Amino acid sequence: MLQGGVKTIEWTNEGVRLIDQRILPGREEYFVCRNSEEVAMAIREMVVRGAPAIGVTAAMGIALGMKQSAAATLEEWQKDFARIADLLAATRPTAVNLFWAIGRMRERFEQWIASGAGREQIAQQLIAEAQHILEEDIAACRAMGDFGASLVPAGQTVMTICNAGALATAGYGTALGVIRSAVREGKGVDVLSLETRPFLQGARLTAWELQKDGIPTTLITDNMAGHFLRTGLNSRKIGCVVVGADRIAANGDTANKIGTYGVAVLARENNVPFYVAAPLSTIDLNIASGEQIPIEQRAEREVAEIQGVRIAPEGIAIQNPAFDMTPHRYIAAIITERGIAQPPYTESLARLKQAPVR
């Protein structure tokens, strides 16, 4: 089944149910967040990760927290909304989908409060809104996949980094959605997945997800990217690179998983087109260029250890930026659910973001 075949995020009567991405592929287990604090922890600790998935999960975290709130008055209940929204917003700084989803929930909440609706009714509407965000994300991924497939050359290899798949979204994926659609169209492509140090999203998640779907995939370490972009894989050319995004500035500069920038430069050097696939909720028109995108710094132990085993000497200085920024000049096109944006992005992205939904 070319849909990822997994439910990344689900609203249940017990709470928000997430496939636990910390332990895949060894164990396929689900983590149920029973309150908004646990949802925040799950985002911070990367039980769930990937920009669109984080946004959907945060929306559900708000719905869950508001449903459970013990506030005695409407005023206190509104304060609870602000507290829960702040808690979720403080989890990870780079993926703008998180702030987009929180903003959308806040806007609806304020509208319903202003309309005089009752608390029970608003709590139900918040749950429904979070579910809409989830469903819209799947639809966006499918549309983006179908637009993007037109860019993928038949019979060649697609390189990708990190996991921009069903696991990183509500389903189907962004970059992996493009690959799924290309496969469905019979383009006969295979995938070269970079392992993606330090959290190993490529080795653990992309490899698992594509293997589950029967899409031929070869795993390489990050430092092999240049070699294969130059030589191709098993006498097949690398036809294109497709990656996801955590935040795209108005000029097209794109923050994505650490290592993406290097791949983009190597792709340019080897005349391989480099594409970004992302929903419009990832485009931040409030930020003029990538220089303003906040880059998350994560714990040193993620670099010093592999799966809990220390590999570096104690006391060594360590840096762990989770994302880097690829300047727009390296990006051949940005694939969205409303179509494909081409340079100059300042115009094409603004146009797409404002266009009516098809």
Per CB under 6 A, does 169 bind ligand MRU? yes
Q: Segment 63-102, which members bind ligand MRU (CB under 6 A)?
A: 95
Is residue 57 within a helix (H) or strand (E), and if so which, with residue range? helix 51-68
Strand segments (E) across the chain = 9-12, 15-19, 30-33, 157-160, 190-194, 217-220, 238-243, 247-249, 254-257, 274-277, 283-284, 305-306, 309-310, 323-326, 333-336, 339-341
Tokens 């094409």 correspond to 348
DSSP 321: B
Among 181, 201, 217, 251, binds ligand MRU (CB under 6 A): 201
Site for ligand MRU (CB under 6 A): which residue of 56, 168, 325, 352?
Answer: 168
Q: How far is the CB of 19 from ligand MRU (least distance, A)?
A: 14
Distance from C-alpha of 57 to C-alpha of 39, rounded to nearest angstrom = 7
Annotated catalytic residue within 246, 253, 284, 324: 246
- Which residue from 4, 15, 50, 252 is in contact with ligand MRU, where contact means CB under 6 A? 50
- In the complex, what is the shortest distance from the CB of residue 108 to ligand MRU, in angstroms, rounded to a whole number? 24
171 binds ligand MRU (CB under 6 A): no
Smallest gap, in angstroms, from Cβ of residue 282 to ligand MRU?
7
Q: Which two tokens stand for residue 136?
A: 């819209």
263 lies in the site for ligand MRU, by CB under 6 A: no
Per-residue contact track with ligand MRU, 217 to 246, x per CB under 6 A?
---------------------------xxx
The span from the CA of 327 to the CA of 310, in Å, is: 34
Per-residue DSSP letter, 5: S
Q: Which stretches of the chain bind ligand MRU, using CB under 6 A?
A: 49-52, 95, 162, 164, 168-169, 174, 201, 244-246, 256-257, 322
